[in-house]
A and B are shown apart, each in its own frame.
Chain A
Amino acid sequence: MKGRVSIVKRTKPKNIELFPSDRLIVVVGNYGSGKTEVSVNLAIALTAKRFSVSIADLDIVNPYFRCREARILMEKHDIRVVVPPAALTWADLPIIVPEIKGMLNPKESQVNLFDVGGDEVGARLLSSFADTLGDSPYALWQVINSRRPFTDTVEGCLKMKAGIESTSRMKVTGLVVNSHLMQETTPEVILEGYHLARRVSELSGVPTRFITAMDDLADAPELLEVEVPILRLKRYMLPPWIRPDNEEDETDETPAGRTVPIGRPQGAK
Chain B
Amino acid sequence: MAKVLMKGNEAIGEAAIRAGCVHFFGYPITPQSEVPEYLSKRLPEVGGKYVQAESEVAASNMIYGSAGVGIRVLTTSSSPGISLMAEGLSYIAACSLPVVVVNIMRAGPGLGGILPAQGDYLQAVKGTGHGDFQLVVLAPASVQEAVNLVILAFELAEKYLTPVMVIGDGMIGQMMEPVEFPIEGVGPPLDPGDWALNGARGRDKRIINSLHLDPEYCNKINMDLKAKYDRIKKNEQRWELYNCEKPYDLLVCAFGMMSRICKTAIDELAQAGYRVGLFRPISVWPFPYATCKQAMQKAKRVLVLEMNMGQMVEDIQLAGQGTREIDFFGTAGGKVFSPDESKEKMLYSLKQAGAGKSRAGVSQPSSKSEGKPKKKKAAKTAGPAKKRKAR
| Residues of chain A having any CB pair with chain B under 8 Å | 31-32, 62-65, 90, 92, 145, 147-150, 152, 180-182, 184, 239-243, 259, 261-262, 264, 268-269
B residues bordering A, Cβ < 8 Å? 2-7, 10, 14, 30-31, 34, 41, 113-116, 170-171, 174-178, 260-261, 263-264, 333-340
One of A31, A147, A239 near B3 (C-beta < 8 A): A147
Known: A32-B7, A63-B174. A243 touches B339 (CB 8 A): yes
By the criterion CB–CB under 8 Å, are B340 and A268 in contact? yes
Distance to closest chain A CB from B139 (angstroms)? 16
Specify which chain B residues have a CB less than 8 angstroms from the CB of A243 in the assembled complex: 264, 339
What residues of A have a CB within 8 angstroms of the CB of B31 in the complex? Answer: 63-64
Tell whether, in the assembled complex, residue B5 and residue A264 are in contact, meaning their CB atoms are under 8 Å apart: no
Known pairs A148-B5, A239-B175; list 12 more (Cβ under 8 Å): A32-B5, A64-B170, A64-B171, A90-B115, A180-B5, A239-B171, A240-B261, A261-B333, A261-B335, A262-B336, A264-B338, A268-B340
- Cβ of A268 and Cβ of B4 under 8 Å apart? no
Name which of A62, A64, A65, A90 has the most chain B CB atoms within 10 A of its CB.
Answer: A64
In whole Å, how far is B71's beta carbon from the nearest beta carbon of chain A?
Answer: 24
Say yes or no: B178 contacts A181, CB within 8 Å: yes
| B262: nearest chain-A partner, CB-CB | A241
CB-nearest residue of chain A relative to B37? A121
Contact A261 B264 (CB under 8 A): no
Inter-chain CA distance A239–B142, complex, in Å, is 11
B10 nearest in chain A by CB position: A149
List 3 tightest A-B contacts by C-beta distance, closest first. A181-B178, A261-B334, A241-B264
**In the complex, chain A residues whose CB is within 8 Å of the CB of B30:** 63, 92
Q: Give the CA-CA distance A65 to B34 in the complex, in Å.
A: 14
List chain A residues, Cβ under 8 A from B338: 240, 264, 268
Q: How far is the CA of A242 from the CA of B264 in the complex (A)?
A: 8
In whole angstroms, how far apart are the Cα atoms of A16 and B174 in the complex?
31
Q: Nearest-CB distance from B365 to chain A (Å)? A: 13
Closest to B31 in A: A63
Q: Are B34 and A261 in contact (CB under 8 A)?
A: no
Contact sample, A vs B, 20 pairs, CB 8 Å cutoff: A31-B7, A32-B7, A63-B30, A64-B114, A64-B116, A64-B171, A90-B113, A92-B30, A147-B2, A147-B178, A149-B14, A150-B41, A152-B4, A240-B339, A241-B261, A242-B264, A261-B115, A261-B335, A264-B338, A268-B338
* CA gap between A135 and B162 in the complex, in Å: 61
